[in-house]
Structure 1
Amino acid sequence: MQEAGLRAALIQAALNLLEGDEADISLRAVARAAGVSAMAPYRHFADKAALLGAVADRGFSELADRLRTADAERTDPVAALVAQGMAYIDMAFDRPALFRLMFAGARLATTDVDCGTAAYAVLAKRVATITGDDRPHAAVAAWGIVHGLAMLSLAERLPPDRAERESVLTLFATGLCRSSDGKG
């Protein structure tokens, strides 16, 4: 197996174990799942946290793709922001183990400093079209709202009502629009 192929196979094996609710996601278990020697993962990853960081990076890439797709399907900026929020929450429900890993922190998954930047940039760009400028606080607020809804929903602290989550996001996006035009 070529080195690039080995790295990809190890990341995929770790992702499969993670999403299969495997309790033991050790480098040895990942190597076994990928069908390679127990030492093979060390050619690409210093430790388990580095491997899980690569899995988290893949998750952030998928999240960015989902946000871009949701955004591109809408012409109205408020509807596009709501669609992005729903895509974010959908990812949390579709891939809960991966989603939790993405935000687990450096002790569990060592990620690149820029990990998640592309996904955040999609959100921030849309917020800027609504507010009329680049307000970092507005983008952080949007991210906080959608991430909070996703985590509360995963923890079953909110009713399992998709329409209700969409209503909350619409309320926020509409309020953001009003605050930017001086009506709020």
Structure 2
Amino acid sequence: MNALLVYAHPNHASLNHSFLEAVQAGIKANPVISKTEIIDLYEEDFKPALVFHEKKRRRDMHTDPDFALYREKVNQADLLVFIYPIFWGRPPAMLLGFIDQVFAANFAYRHDGLLPEGLLKGKQAVCVSTMKGPSLYSRFYLRNAHKILMERALFHFVGIRKVKIFEFGGMERKDGKQKKYLSRTKAFFSKLAK
């Protein structure tokens, strides 16, 4: 199994980077996963803003050479892992811009008839996200908006049905939860199977 990790946090001394390291450690211990690649969106200076004009059209995004390498990495991956903080109840703009531009029509999905057809079938996806506020806030007050956005509006739309969403809340408290969640993340990836 090939894994692609998409990391979307600007600080390598952050808790999110610790989660990236926990994911990597779990994957390293997993004999099923043979190859791992990382896209660090901030380190790569990814430009999240959509740009359309007479030479760069939305309908041609699936062939845009600026994103060819990213599309190739997504195609080669059996497992897509997204690691990011939750800002205002949703992933950061950097990650959403990556999704907008890479998961384009005629690459990630096709819309020929009444219903779209996902073109990334057979892959699985995992989101590892952190937030300052409690998980209950996201779950109840925001009515799972983040989970619905990632699981249904993105992954199910492009044909990915095997999805796991981790929302680790209360991450700025110093009560030992961080270590517990890091350990849980590492264990999850060390046992993950196809």
Normalised by the size of structure 1, how large is the TM-score? 0.29
Normalised by the size of structure 2, how large is the TM-score? 0.28
Higher helix proportion (structure 1 or 2):
1
Q: Which has the higher contact order (CA 8 A, sep 6+)?
A: 2
